[in-house]
Structure 1
Amino acid sequence: MQGGKMAELVSPITRQVSTEKWKAGTPTVDINLKDVEDCLIYDRRGVSFPFKSLYQDSKSVIIFVRNFLCYSCKEYVDDLSKVPRKALEEAGIRLVVIGQSTHQHIEPFCLLTGYSHEIYVDPKRSIYLKLGMKREETFTDSALPSPHVKSGLFMGQIKSIWRAMTSPAFDFQGDLHQQGGAIIAGPGSHVHFCHFDMNRLDHMPITWLLQLAGVQQSLDFSPKPKIIHV
C-alpha cells in the first residue's frame, strides 16, 4: 500500500524532443536481417515463428525492449499502447514489441501496460546477440533521454523491484544488462531505419518512428493524450 501511495505522489516528467534534435544526436547502425531471419520468436501461447515472418510481407516497426520488469520499458510500452490501430492499418504498418523473457510473461505485461498490438519474445536473446545490440549501459551526450519515461531512476527501480517481488514467477523476466532498440523493416529484408539503445532511456520517440514508417498521424503523449491529424 505504501508503495502505491508513493507512486501516486510522483508527478510525471514530460520531455518534448524535436525530430531535428533526435536526428542530430542519435546515430543509426547498419544491420543485415539475413543473419537473424530464421531465429525463432514466441507468442503468448508459446507458439514459435521465424523472425522474418514479421516483415516479409509488410513494413513493420519492431521495438526490442530490455526486460519486462524494466520501468523505462514499461512506460515506453504504456505509450505504445496508445497508438491507434486504425492509423497503423491505414498505413499498412505492423507495430511489434519483442522482449527477451519466457512467453509466460507476455500476458501479464500486456495487462499491466494495456498494450494490444503484436508482441513476442526472444528468450535466448538470439536476435539481440546476432544483431549486436548493446549489453551494459553507456551514458553520453548523444544518448538523449526518452520522452516517454516519466519516472525518475529511484522511483522507477522501486517499482521494478516491487513488480519482481509480486510476480507469480519471481525472476527478472530477461537479462537485466541487455539493451534494446528499434528497427523499421520490410517488405522483404530491406531495413529502412535501425537504432540500438545505448541505455535504458535511449528510446526513439514513438511519433518519429511511426512517421518515418509512413503513418500519417502524430500522437501527443502529454498527460491527456490526443490525436493530432497532420
Structure 2
Amino acid sequence: MAQVVSPITRQVTRENRGILSRSVDVRLEDVDDCLVYDRRGVSFPFRSLYQDRKSVIIFVRNFLCYSCKEYVDDLSKIPREALEAADIRLIVIGQSTHHHIEPFCSLTGYCYEMYVDPERCIYQKLGMRREEKYTESANPSPHVKSGIFIGQMKTIWRAITSPAFDFQGDLHQQGGAIIVGPGSQVHFSHFDSNRLDHMPINWLMQLAGVQQTLDFSDKPKIIHV
C-alpha cells in the first residue's frame, strides 16, 4: 500500500491545473448506453458506473501494455479508506474480452472495480486517440518505471506466455481518465496522447476530492524521530 504523506507537497492549484490536465470536452449522453462487461461477462450500461456516485474512471490501452500495467500497479496502492472518505468509486476500463480481467487484477494487485469495453464503443464515441503522438512539452508518466525497450520486451514476453495468445486489445488505442457523476456531471477529463501520457494519480485524486497525498516512489523512506 502506498505510504500516506502529510502535508501535501505538490498541490494542483487553480493556476496550474489547466496546464497539467489538458482537459477535453466529454458528452456523457453519447456513451450512457454503451455496454461494459465485468469479469464474469455480465454487461452493464456505462451510466451505471457513475449514476449514483462520483467516479474516477481510468481507460487503459490494452492489458499487455507495460505502461498500463505499471500505472495500474500504482492505482492498486491507493488505500481504500482514502476513496471511502471522499465517497468516490475507482474504476479501470480496458478494451479486451472479459476473460483478461481476472489475470490482470492478479498481476497488478488491483482490487477495485474493473470492466472492459471490447467493442471500444466508449473509447471511440468519446474521441480517444487511436495513434500515439509525442511532443517535447509532454510530461512522461511518473508511474512508469520501465524504459521503452525493456517495457516492450516485458509486453512481448507476457504475450508469449499468456494462456490466451492475443494482444488483449487494440495495440493502437490510447486511454485516458475522467471524473464524472453523480448523474451527468463531468468534473474532469484527460485523453492520453501516448502510452506515457497518464494523468499523475495524485493530481487525479486531488481533483476528485481525495485529501491524502500518496507517495508512489520506490525510494527508501526517511523517518525523523
Taking structure 2 as the reference length, the TM-score comes to 0.90
Identify the match of residue 136 of structure 1 among 131, 154, 160.
131
AA partner of residue 46 (structure 1): G
- Shift of residue 31 of structure 1? 1.1
Question: Could you tell me which residue of structure 1 aligns to residue 204 of structure 2?
Answer: 209
Per-residue CA deviation, residues 78-113 of structure 1 (Å, 9 max, x unaligned), is 000000111101110000000000000000000000
Question: Could you tell me which residue of structure 1 aligns to residue 156 of structure 2?
Answer: 161
- Shift of residue 216 of structure 1? 1.1
Q: 2:75, 2:160 → 1: CA distance?
A: 25
SS in 2 for 1:49: strand
Taking structure 1 as the reference length, the TM-score comes to 0.88
With over 3 angstroms needed to count, the CA separation of the structure-2 counterparts of 1:17 and 1:150, relative to structure 1, is farther
Q: 2:19, 2:105 → 1: CA distance?
A: 33
Per-residue CA deviation, residues 164-214 of structure 1 (Å, 9 max, x unaligned), is 000000000000000000000000111000000000000000011111101
With over 3 angstroms needed to count, the CA separation of the structure-2 counterparts of 1:89 and 1:17, relative to structure 1, is closer
Structure 1 gaps of 5+ residues are 1-15
Residues 3-82 of structure 1: pairs in structure 2 closer than 5 A = 19=12, 23-82=18-77
**How much identity, in percent, do the aligned residues show?**
76
Q: 2:158, 2:10 → 1: CA distance?
A: 29
Contact 1:25 1:142 in 2 (8 A): no
Contact 1:137 1:198 in 2 (8 A): yes
- Shift of residue 18 of structure 1? 7.2
Q: 1:17, 1:132 → 2: CA distance?
A: 30
- Shift of residue 144 of structure 1? 1.4
Identify the match of residue 89 of structure 1 among 79, 84, 92.
84
Question: What is the RMSD of the two structures over their aligned residues, measured on CA atoms?
Answer: 1.8
Structure 2 gaps of 5+ residues are 1-8
Question: Could you tell me which residue of structure 2 aligns to residue 116 of structure 1?
Answer: 111
Per-residue CA deviation, residues 118-174 of structure 1 (Å, 9 max, x unaligned), is 000000000000000001100013421001000000000000000000000000000
Q: 1:158, 1:57 → 2: CA distance?
A: 42
Per-residue CA deviation, residues 37-80 of structure 1 (Å, 9 max, x unaligned), is 01000000000000000110000000000000000000000000
AA partner of residue 145 (structure 1): P
AA partner of residue 180 (structure 2): A
Identify the match of residue 125 of structure 1 among 105, 120, 133.
120
Identify the match of residue 190 of structure 1 among 185, 190, 193.
185
Contact 2:12 2:206 in 1 (8 A): no
Question: Could you tell me which residue of structure 2 aligns to residue 6 of structure 1?
Answer: none
Question: Could you tell me which residue of structure 2 aligns to residue 219 of structure 1?
Answer: 214
SS in 2 for 1:199: coil
Q: 1:151, 1:46 → 2: CA distance?
A: 32
Contact 2:39 2:101 in 1 (8 A): yes
